[in-house]
Structure 1
Amino acid sequence: MIFTNRYQASDLGLLLLRLGLGVMFMVHGLPKLAGGPTAWAGVGGVMAEVGLGFAPAFWGFLAAVAEFGGGLLLAAGLWFRAACFFLLITMIMATIMHLSKGDGFSGYSHALEAAFVFLGLLFVGPGRYSLDERLYGGRLR
């Protein structure tokens, strides 16, 4: 595939990254979202590790929405930076959860790696092949 400029290649790369990560986070988030209040409370219980031990079902629901809804927004490139921010926070909390359980590096590495990806994407933006670009014409860059 020959690109006429380096921006086309990087925008295609961002599209592929967004689609792959977005779908994977939707797949991870859907069972959590469908799990209901009991599952949400289990996921949200990690908030006690940072001093927010109240309403674990609420925090768990937000994490499930961040994973599923954030994955959908990520894939579409819509409200991209907000989605990356909420996914970043969710992955930081997932890392904390694994560390508090005593999991080794292989237990927390996926969440930590994803956190770094979302942090980087916050700065890079969604690229030209996104709904943000289509709807807002680069004003969100």
Structure 2
Amino acid sequence: MRYSKTDIGLLIIRVVIGASMMAFHGLPKLMGGVDTWTKIGQSMQNIGINFLPTVWGFSAGFTETVASFLLILGLWTRPASWLLAFTMLVAAVMHFSKGDGLSGASHALEFLAIYVAFGIMGPGKISIDKK
């Protein structure tokens, strides 16, 4: 089977973005333990959720790790992408609420755009979803 340039490009984006999110954001959050999870989970207050910050913080790290791995594989890509998009939305809102402005929130917004795009279009043909 011959793959299009688009499918090869989507694979490259999935692998690079997924590995970056998993290695530099997800795993450090998971390894940070309860204090880290609680601190991160308090970001949910910015969207009106004021309960169980430790659970929300753990969920962010878990999502950034496991959903990123699924993105790399191209397995359950759309649901994984929407979970990651929500996590990045909360991160962007947190940066804006801290007064970081667009320069502080830009990284989360960039990831958000990529995850929304994968949520809409899927992983491409070079994926487990398509096999």
Aligned partners of 2:34, 2:11: CA distance in 1, in Å?
34
2:120 paired with 1:123:
yes
* TM-score scaled by length of structure 2: 0.94
Partner of 1:8: 4
* 2:20 alignment partner, one of 24, 34, 46: 24
The 3-state SS of whatever aligns with 2:130 is: helix
Q: Give the gaps of 5 or more residues in structure 1.
A: 135-141
2:86 paired with 1:103:
no
Q: Give the gaps of 5 or more residues in structure 2.
A: none
* TM-score scaled by length of structure 1: 0.88
Residue correspondence of structure 1 range 54-65 to structure 2 within 5 A? 54-65=51-62
Partner of 2:64: 67
Aligned length: 129
Aligned-residue identity in percent: 44
Give the superposition deviation at 1:69: 0.7
Larger-Rg structure: 1
Higher relative contact order (CA 8 A, sep 6+): 2
- The root-mean-square deviation of aligned C-alpha atoms, in Å, is 1.1
The ranges of structure 1 where at least 4 consecutive aligned residues each deviate by more than 6 angstroms after the TM superposition are none
